[in-house]
Structure 1
Amino acid sequence: MDLNQRITAFSNLSLFLKNFLSDATKCEATLNDFEHLKEELQQVIQTANRHNAWFTPEHITQALSSWSAALQKDNLTTWLDAYAITSSSEKRVAVIMAGNLPLVGFHDFLSVLITGHHLVAKLSSDDQLLMPFLARVLIIIEPGFDSKITFTKEKLPQFDAVIATGSNNTARYFEYYFKNKPSIIRKNRNAVAVLTGNETPQQLEALGDDIFGYFGMGCRSVAKLYVPQNYDFDTFFQAMFKQQDVINHHKYANNYDYNKAVYLMSLFPVLDNGFMVLKEDTNFSSPISVVFYERYTDVETLKAELQSKADQIQCIVADDFSDEDVAFGQAQNPKLYDYADGVDTVAFLLKL
């Protein structure tokens, strides 16, 4: 396969997802088994939810919708035009995937295959169904991928390079274990939001999606707010009200009850609206159902502080705070070139 064939295959996968989500009777990618594959994907979604209650059908659908949009041919072409991708020797790239969000490892899946390498994927026990299904559809679309995709639950077979995502603790293990291989090792990061008090109700409502999307479990989920000294949280809480149904999810509700009780028993001052807790804290990574906040007095000082802690921050949600701002409501919708931890995965793969 050349690059154009690979781009076409992934763009046809985008069409399959688009037609599945719209409940179309035919697939624009001309899949003979479309109706059967639609039924199977519906079953996969239900089974994934039973296996991992955090993976609600709504969140799985959100992930599928995001990838359907991202994999459109124009997006793939624009993304890859920045690189000189030529036919080169194929390497076996091991990808150790996280399982905190549905299809969280798909960008690595895409990057390895689109650059012509062989993917050796070790799936998280929390997300073992969605990726293999999409891989099978991709192979039906383009059989040339059949020999380029390996999934394993056991010890990784032979590989030439590795991309691994995990916690700060597992990252130390990865760094030691893979020290003799070219690697990308990702650690814990979170998104933060910088508020000025001049945000519109619409912007704050959009921020709710950045906070509550995927129950706040993603590295691009806003886990901390920076607010002015005299910030009034009443308007903020009013905007969050549309997210109130999150408390109806039993696992989220259990986390909310537990974290609120711990803070109250420890006599920590908190703000609470019945489904989320705000706690003043200098840390970045907050527990599920909790958002930390910190007050600032000077924008330039805050910029310098966040720059000094850039290795802990995945993205900054704000309006006219910096050149790298992510717009309110867009934290969970990264572009193909918005690389995790700021490390260019494609450039790494092209150097192998």
Structure 2
Amino acid sequence: MQLHQRINAFSALGKFLGQFASETPVKKEDVLNNDAFFSEMQQKIHTAKHHNGWFTEDNLHFTFKSWAEALTENNINKWISNYTIPETEPKTVAIIMAGNIPLVGFHDFLSVLITGNKVLAKLSSNDKQLLPFLAEYLISVEPEFKNLIEFTEGRLTSFDAVIATGSDNTARYFNYYFSKYPNIIRKNRNSVAVLTGNESKEEMELLANDMFRYFGLGCRNVSKIYLPEAYDYDKFFNGMFSWKHVINNHKYINNYDYNKAVYLMSNINLLDNEYLLLKEDTGYSSPISVTFYETYSNLEAIKKKLKADEDKIQAIVSNSGIDNEISFGEAQHPELWDYADGVDTVAFLLKLS
């Protein structure tokens, strides 16, 4: 299978996903194989939502919209134009996927296949409904993918390299078992925001998107904020008001009630707007419904700290001139070339040839 065939197939998948980017799916006549897949996709969305209570319809639609925007022919070509992708014998790459947000392992899946390699995927039990179905759609568009995609629930065997995503604890396990293979092993990472106090109301509402999308479960969710001393916290909480509807999700509000009770019983001071807790803490990884914060008097010192801790940080949201910062509202809109943990997955895969 030639590279242009793979590009065309993923572009077709992007158009298919675009139909499910809003609350009311719109069936389009120009989408390949739609009659065979459209209705079943609606059922898969329903199943995924009921299988995992964190996968709300809103978050699923957001995921599909994001991938539809990413998987255009122009965007894929822009991404891979930085590489020379040879047509060689495919290597089998085992992908151990997380399940914290919908289709969280899709970028690895895409990267392996676009480089002409074979996927051997082990799905998380929390997110096993959607990707196999999307793989079926991909095969229907380009049948040669059939021999390049395999899902397994058993022990991983007969592979040439590994891409594994998990917690710090599982990373130790992955390192032990997969150290003899070429590998990318990802650990816990979190995203942070650095505020100056001069942010507009619109920027604060965009920050709320960075924090609350997927209920804060993703590594690109802002879980820690840095605030200048004497900061006006009303500006922060007014921005968060745009996400007050999270209180309607029982899993989220149960976490809020639990964490609030634990902190109060421990006499820990909190700032609280009845659906989000702000806790002063030097850590990066905050529980669901909690955002850690620290205050600063010297922005340069914060820049140095973030540089020193870059192996713990996925993204920095700010407009204060920090290296590699991204704009407010962009944390959940990574480009195809924005690699998790800053590790170039495609470059890694091309070295296997």
Q: TM-score range by the shorter chain?
A: over 0.9
Q: TM-score, normalised by structure 1?
A: 0.98
Tell me what 1:235 maps to: 235
Quote the offset at 1:299 in angstroms.
Answer: 1.3
Given that 2:190 and 2:314 are in contact with CA atoms closer than 8 Å, whether structure 1 keeps it comes out as yes
What are the residue-to-residue correspondences of 1:248-263 with 2, within 5 Å?
248-263=248-263
Tell me what 1:329 maps to: 329
Given that 2:194 and 2:320 are in contact with CA atoms closer than 8 Å, whether structure 1 keeps it comes out as no
Aligned mates of 1:21, 1:63 — CA distance in 2: 8
Indicate the SS of the match to 1:109. Answer: helix
Tell me what 2:28 maps to: 26
Aligned mates of 1:333, 1:264 — CA distance in 2: 35
Which AA in structure 1 matches 2:263? Y
1:136 corresponds to 2:139 = no
Quote the offset at 1:223 in angstroms.
Answer: 0.1
Tell me what 1:166 maps to: 166
Tell me what 1:94 maps to: 94
Please, what is the CA RMSD of the aligned residues?
1.0
Which AA in structure 1 matches 2:71? L
Which AA in structure 2 matches 1:42? Q
Given that 1:193 and 1:316 are in contact with CA atoms closer than 8 Å, whether structure 2 keeps it comes out as yes
Aligned mates of 2:39, 2:56 — CA distance in 1: 18
Indicate the SS of the match to 1:291. Answer: strand
Aligned mates of 1:347, 1:168 — CA distance in 2: 24
What are the residue-to-residue correspondences of 1:183-202 with 2, within 5 Å?
183-202=183-202
Given that 2:85 and 2:350 are in contact with CA atoms closer than 8 Å, whether structure 1 keeps it comes out as yes
Aligned mates of 1:307, 1:319 — CA distance in 2: 16
Aligned mates of 1:79, 1:288 — CA distance in 2: 33
Given that 1:16 and 1:28 are in contact with CA atoms closer than 8 Å, whether structure 2 keeps it comes out as no
Using a 3 Å threshold, how does the CA distance of structure 1 residues 219 and 333 change in structure 2: closer, same or farther? same
Aligned mates of 1:49, 1:29 — CA distance in 2: 24
Given that 2:260 and 2:277 are in contact with CA atoms closer than 8 Å, whether structure 1 keeps it comes out as yes
Quote the offset at 1:30 in angstroms.
Answer: 2.9
Indicate the SS of the match to 1:244. Answer: helix
Q: TM-score, normalised by structure 2?
A: 0.97
Quote the offset at 1:251 in angstroms.
Answer: 0.5
Which AA in structure 1 matches 2:292? F
Quote the offset at 1:25 in angstroms.
Answer: 3.6
Quote the offset at 1:19 in angstroms.
Answer: 3.1
Tell me what 2:175 maps to: 175
What are the residue-to-residue correspondences of 1:300-311 with 2, within 5 Å?
300-311=300-311
Which AA in structure 2 matches 1:265? M
Given that 2:162 and 2:184 are in contact with CA atoms closer than 8 Å, whether structure 1 keeps it comes out as yes
Aligned mates of 1:21, 1:246 — CA distance in 2: 20
Once the two structures are overlaid, the 10-residue window that deviates more, 281-290 or 239-248, is: 239-248
Tell me what 2:38 maps to: 38
Which AA in structure 2 matches 1:76? I
Aligned mates of 1:221, 1:25 — CA distance in 2: 32
Tell me what 1:123 maps to: 123
What are the residue-to-residue correspondences of 1:52-131 with 2, within 5 Å?
52-131=52-131
- CA deviations 1:193-225 (Å, max 9, x no partner) are 000000000000000000000000000000000
Aligned mates of 1:55, 1:7 — CA distance in 2: 28
Once the two structures are overlaid, the 10-residue window that deviates more, 74-83 or 20-29, is: 20-29
Aligned mates of 1:308, 1:113 — CA distance in 2: 35
Tell me what 2:312 maps to: 312
Aligned mates of 1:246, 1:19 — CA distance in 2: 25
Quote the offset at 1:17 in angstroms.
Answer: 1.3
Aligned mates of 1:227, 1:25 — CA distance in 2: 46
Tell me what 1:148 maps to: 148
Quote the offset at 1:20 in angstroms.
Answer: 4.2
Tell me what 2:13 maps to: 13
- CA deviations 1:283-334 (Å, max 9, x no partner) are 0000000000001111111111110000000000001322411110110110
Quote the offset at 1:35 in angstroms.
Answer: 3.3
Aligned mates of 2:207, 2:21 — CA distance in 1: 25
Given that 2:20 and 2:65 are in contact with CA atoms closer than 8 Å, whether structure 1 keeps it comes out as no
Gaps of 5+ in 1: none
Aligned mates of 2:232, 2:335 — CA distance in 1: 33
Indicate the SS of the match to 1:202. Answer: helix
Aligned mates of 1:67, 1:57 — CA distance in 2: 15
Aligned mates of 1:159, 1:9 — CA distance in 2: 24
Once the two structures are overlaid, the 10-residue window that deviates more, 155-164 or 283-292, is: 155-164
Which AA in structure 1 matches 2:178? F
Which AA in structure 1 matches 2:66? S
Aligned mates of 2:243, 2:31 — CA distance in 1: 36
Given that 2:195 and 2:320 are in contact with CA atoms closer than 8 Å, whether structure 1 keeps it comes out as no
Tell me what 2:281 maps to: 281
Given that 1:26 and 1:35 are in contact with CA atoms closer than 8 Å, whether structure 2 keeps it comes out as no
Which AA in structure 2 matches 1:48? A
Given that 2:59 and 2:214 are in contact with CA atoms closer than 8 Å, whether structure 1 keeps it comes out as yes
Which AA in structure 2 matches 1:351? K
Gaps of 5+ in 2: none
